[in-house]
Structure 1
Amino acid sequence: MSEQSPYEQLGVAENASFEEIQDAKKRLTQEHQNNPKTVQNIEAAYDTIIMERLRMRQEGKIKVPDRIRFPEKSSEIVNSSAPDTSNNSYSWLKRLLDNPSVPEILWPGAVFLILAVIAVFTKAETSSPLPLLLAFGFGANIYFLNRKEKLFWRAFLISFIALCVGLGGGYALANLMITSQTGIIFNQEQFASLFTFCLFWLISSFIR
């Protein structure tokens, strides 16, 4: 091999790209990994070619990529930049939000719409079915969430928070509308229930 040119030792043409030279070196090194002498000749040929390319670069004949001139530095740059990508401040939001299909939107919508219609036509009575409707909606929300990630306690926690926010926000909005003398056709319980069902639908459709 010593009588061959460095390019012939690597089995590449003299106008080969840096990628082709690197690939040839890696391939030959793997093929002759049990022959230290041959591997040494291969690495020497590679170094000779790189030095020649660098000399040509200094003469302005070719441009040598930085990853070839400083492979260690390029590796450090890639590794140091990796955490910045993984620590993206919006990555948690992307993991939380879902991109549902049409059926995944319509099925929860149909369930919560039926519950909302029943709540609307419920009259203020001593034995109001609203708590039962809310309980059913709470269970439905857990089901729709759990079938996505198969994490029951996560689905339960999100649904419980949605229930609290929905009822609290619904009662607050109803009181605000009454205080501001805005026309409201539902009582406070009905309005809070409708608000909660809407929140359930949004969460079950667009949250993982």
Structure 2
Amino acid sequence: MNESNYKTLGLDESSSFEEVQVARKRLIDECQDDPKQKEAIEAAYDAILMERLRMRQEGKIKVPDRIRFAEKSAESSASTPRVSLPTPQTPNWLQDWLDTPSRDDILWPSVVFLALSALAWFAANSAATALGFAVAATIYFINRKERKFWRSLGFATGGLFVGVLLGLAFINLVGQPSLELSAERINAVVGIITMILLWFVSSFLR
């Protein structure tokens, strides 16, 4: 054993557990205003307990069962049932629709819809064509996940309808004169907003 730990507590190796605990409590009370000394006392106390624990495990000494060691604390905490807090439950019907996409499930739709958005913007007269391809891509990406064509068609149609409404609402909110866009450019803006929504539908729904 390390005799310096006992000397810190004013004890020797023959001291009982009761004497170790009493000495610790007395010294801690005496050095309330000296954090460093208090820390040294706690460290010496912990070292003595751990050393005696090791000796007990080796059968060299007998330790009262009421003495608490780190291992017993771990055992008691492991045996104590953990109370888990209730977590919000997602409705079953929504769980059936939502997807946890992989990297590829996000990457490839992103590439496709980005290319179609670029086509709609730089070739404004092709916005409707690009939007048609976007709907077809949405059906493909959703259908390949679980092979449910009609659900894919429904999601794509719904995304198209909502996307166009959002695009028109954006144009009306900002104001066409302030945008200074031609009719073709306005169609391109509506198409791009719709494709952003279709990308989300393709990536996160199934």
**TM-score of the superposition, structure 2-length normalised?**
0.52
Give the whole-Å Cα distance in 2 for the aligned partners of 1:205 and 1:140: 11
1:194 pairs, out of 167, 192, 195, with: 192
Matches within 5 A, 1:136-155: 136-155=133-152
Verify the 8 A CA contact 1:137 1:200 in the aligned structure 2. Answer: yes
Aligned to 1:39: none
CA shift for structure 1 position 187: 2.9
Aligned to 2:40: none
CA shift for structure 1 position 182: 6.5
CA shift for structure 1 position 179: 6.1
Give the whole-Å Cα distance in 2 for the aligned partners of 1:137 and 1:96: 20
| Deviation per residue, 1:47-69 (Å, 9 max, x gap) | xxxxxxxxxxxxxxxxxxxxxxx
Verify the 8 A CA contact 2:164 2:193 in the aligned structure 1. Answer: yes
Give the whole-Å Cα distance in 1 for the aligned partners of 2:151 and 2:196: 20
Aligned to 2:203: 205
Matches within 5 A, 1:71-90: 90=91
Larger Rg: 2
Matches within 5 A, 1:170-189: 170-178=167-175, 181=178, 187-189=185-187
Matches within 5 A, 1:115-130: 115-123=116-124, 128-130=125-127
CA shift for structure 1 position 188: 1.9
Aligned to 2:110: 109
Verify the 8 A CA contact 1:177 1:184 in the aligned structure 2. Answer: no
| Deviation per residue, 1:104-149 (Å, 9 max, x gap) | 10000000000001111124xxxx2111111111100000010112
Give the aligned residue type for 1:201.
Answer: W
Q: Does 1:160 align with 2:154?
A: no
Give the whole-Å Cα distance in 2 for the aligned partners of 1:90 and 1:184: 43
Give the whole-Å Cα distance in 1 for the aligned partners of 2:128 and 2:122: 14
Give the whole-Å Cα distance in 2 for the aligned partners of 1:161 and 1:187: 23
Give the whole-Å Cα distance in 2 for the aligned partners of 1:91 and 1:122: 43
Verify the 8 A CA contact 1:145 1:155 in the aligned structure 2. Answer: yes
**TM-score of the superposition, structure 1-length normalised?**
0.52
Give the whole-Å Cα distance in 2 for the aligned partners of 1:145 and 1:199: 14
Give the aligned residue type for 1:166.
Answer: G
Matches within 5 A, 1:32-51: none
CA shift for structure 1 position 200: 0.9
Give the whole-Å Cα distance in 2 for the aligned partners of 1:155 and 1:198: 17
Number of aligned positions between the proteins: 117
| Deviation per residue, 1:19-60 (Å, 9 max, x gap) | xxxxxxxxxxxxxxxxxxxxxxxxxxxxxxxxxxxxxxxxxx
Verify the 8 A CA contact 2:135 2:156 in the aligned structure 1. Answer: yes
| Deviation per residue, 1:54-106 (Å, 9 max, x gap) | xxxxxxxxxxxxxxxxxxxxxxxxxxxxxxxxxx6622222211111101100
Q: Where does the alignment leave 5 or more consecutive residues of structure 1 unmatched?
A: 1-87
- Indicate the SS of the match to 2:130: helix
Q: Where does the alignment leave 5 or more consecutive residues of structure 2 unmatched?
A: 1-88
